[in-house]
Amino acid sequence: MRWDVVWNNFDYLLWGAFPDGPLGGLALSIVLAVAGIFGAFWLGLAVGLLRIAHSRLMRWPAMVYIEVVRGVPLLMLIFWFYFLAPIALGHTLPETWSALIAFIIFTSAYIAEIVRAGVMALPRGQMEAARGTGLTHIQAMRYIILPQALRNMIPSFVNQFVSLTKDTSLAYIIGVLELTRAATQINNRTLVAPTEIFATIAVMYFVICYALTSASRRLEKQLARYQARGR
């Protein structure tokens, strides 16, 4: 076993060439995951609310968006934004941005479904009572339904965050220097310790994702006490 290879390159795995060069490695993976989930939350919330709107004109495009995005491998989406941005925009997009946009689009479709399920899970009476007190539909959504629904959705959001953290590894394919790419570079340079290198980064991903998964499980239990559930 050649753990010294891993040890000597450990800082490269953690933050790439950071102070002297661009941010990379695990740090970039985390930045991508956090920025991705932030963007996907707002886009997903919008799509999810459209998905449950009364008007078909709003509902159908949202449904098509969700079905299409969920039916395609993330890798394919990344290729779309990487190879086709030049065609659509006339200039190339930095790889990191292509990857980030693909992550946001991909995750937002799943978040939209979570939002829909969360709102549908509330008792109908909540909306009726809110409307009965004189709130408009939008006000009722904003002050009564969404605060309750979003709180119940937190565990699902955390799970989606875990998925995204794992999925950031796919940015490897277009040359973003995140953790998986950094590991492959070290592997190509040293050639003696593939098992050790890939086991190490697997453990790095695991530590983050497992911590989040356990947190979401604990949250789920705590929230279960306050949940208003319908049907």
- Which residues contact another protein (rule: CB under 8 A)? 1, 67-68, 70-76, 79-80, 83-84, 87-88, 90, 162, 166-170, 172-173, 180, 183-184, 187, 194-199, 201-202, 205-206, 209-210, 213
Q: Report the distance separating Cα 107 and Cα 158, nearest Å.
A: 12
- Residue nearer to another protein on the CB measure, 125 or 175: 175
Residue 197 C-beta: closest distance to another protein, Å: 8
In the complex with another protein, the residue whose CB is nearer, 145 or 170, is 170
Integer Cα distance of 155 and 43 in angstroms: 18
Min separation Cβ 144 and another protein, Å: 30
List the alpha helices (DSSP H) in the chain. 3-8, 10-15, 25-51, 56-71, 74-89, 95-121, 124-132, 137-140, 146-167, 179-190, 194-224
Q: Hey, CA dihedral for 200, 205, 210, 215, is it positive or negative?
A: positive
CB of 213 to another protein, least distance (A): 6
Give the residue with the Cβ less far from another protein, 145 or 193.
193
Q: Which is nearer to another protein, 21 or 86 (CB)?
A: 86
Q: Work out how close the CB of 150 gets to another protein at its nearest, in angstroms, rounded to a whole number.
A: 25
CA 40, distance to chain mean position in Å, is 6
Q: How far is the CB of 203 from another protein (least distance, A)?
A: 8
User: Does residue 196 contact residue 6 with C-beta atoms inside 8 Å?
Assistant: yes
Smallest CA-to-CA distance from 112 within 60, 159, 46, 158 is with 46
Question: Which are the contacts of 31, defined by CB distance < 8 A and separation ≥ 6?
Answer: 23
Identify which of residues 59 and 131 has a Cβ nearer to another protein in the complex.
59
Residue 74 or residue 140: which is nearer to another protein going by CB? 74
* CA–CA separation, 183 and 168 (whole Å): 14
Q: Least CB distance from residue 136 to another protein, whole Å?
A: 34
